[in-house]
Amino acid sequence: MKKLYFSFLFMAAAVLLSSCAHSVYPLDLLYSNYNNRMRSPEDLTIKANVWIYFSEKDIPGEYTIISANNYSPFCFLPFKGIRVKKMNKRFLEQAVKQADKEGGNAVLIQSAGFFYVLTLKDRDGIESPAASFSSPILDMKNADIVKSGAVEMMKRGEKTRTINAFMDEIDSNIDYLQTAEEIDAIRKKIDVLSQYNLRAKNPKKSIDKFVRKKSRKVSSIEKKMAKQAAKQAKQEAATSSQKK
């Protein structure tokens, strides 16, 4: 009973602490995860039919609100970091799929987890979301900014936001690696971050640790991909020889 009692106290304290903490959901990260997750033909069809808006003033023409929704990702452990990561990963995907399920063609995001499903009355002239997959991992825009040395010229707050966003991008990208081209792109991003830290007057140990940890993870994923490719090639060779 004592163990159960203390476990309950621990869980309750964790919930209270996490509920009081400030959480950040960067739009770039939300969109990057959304674009990485919507890869299948079915998902791309949904993506092409549902618009995402973060401000009511950006919605063109008249619309009807179908429903108000609250998405709350399930977390076995009630820690803020886990919930924030899941929200950043899945929120836009879940919002768009819910809109498609209800017959809507747009969502209006109110805040993290809260959104309206809408029906736009006139979609003529509104550019449709991309219906083909383009890997966000291959986007080197932020890497080029860090590589250029522009970050060193920024004010302290802007510099911190830029580097944190770049690290979030790398961390998120690694979860979706599927091709050799993507492996090469993420290695370049990690190297850009490493070089930035080496150029700094006071290199941060946290960035160095991040670089080493993510480099190991990428190497592990690359090895798994190589094994899977070798296994598939072996199976295809066996099937080919049987046909002969």
Which pLDDT band, with edges at 50, 70 and 90, does 10 fall under?
A: very low
Q: Residue 101: which of 63, 134, 71, 136 has the closest Cα? A: 71
Q: Is the pLDDT reported for residue 8 higher than 60? A: no
State the pLDDT at residue 3.
45
- Output b/e per residue, 41-57; b: 16+ Cβ within 10 A: eebbebbebbbbbeeee
pLDDT tens digits for range 18-29: 455 567 778 999
Look at residue 101 in the predicted model and tell me its pLDDT. Answer: 97
Q: Across the beta sheet with 51-53, what order do the strands follow?
A: 51-53, 106-111, 114-120, 63-70
Answer yes or no: do 106 and 30 share one domain: yes
Q: Has residue 156 been placed in a domain?
A: yes
Strands 106-111 and 63-70: unpaired
User: Do 115 and 145 belong to one domain?
Assistant: no
CATH code: domain of residue 86:
3.30.110
Q: Please state the domain count of the chain.
A: 2
What is the overall mean pLDDT for the chain? Answer: 86
State how far the Cα of 120 lies from the Cα of 21, in Å rounded to an integer.
36
Q: Specify whether 82 is located in the same domain as 171.
A: no
pLDDT digits (tens, 9 = 90+) for 120-155: 987 766 766 766 788 999 999 999 999 999 999 999
Is 60 exceeded by the pLDDT of residue 78? no
**End residue of a domain, out of 120, 155, 189:** 120
- State whether 151 and 178 are in the same domain: yes
Domain contains 114 = yes
What dihedral angle (degrees, nearest 10) is formed by the CA atoms of 104, 137, 82, 73? 10
Residue 40 lies in a domain: yes
On whether residue 128 sits in a domain, the answer given is no
What pLDDT does residue 4 have?
A: 42
Report the range out of 26-30, 72-76, 213-217 with the highest average pLDDT: 213-217
Full residue range of the structural domain in which residue 49 is found: 22-120
Nearest CA-CA partner of 118 in 71, 53, 29, 172: 53
Q: Residue 241 and residue 243: Cα distance in Å, rounded? A: 5
Confidence of residue 61 (pLDDT cuts 50, 70, 90): confident
pLDDT band (50, 70, 90) for residue 243:
low
State the average pLDDT over residues 114-123. Answer: 90
Together in a domain, 33 and 115: yes
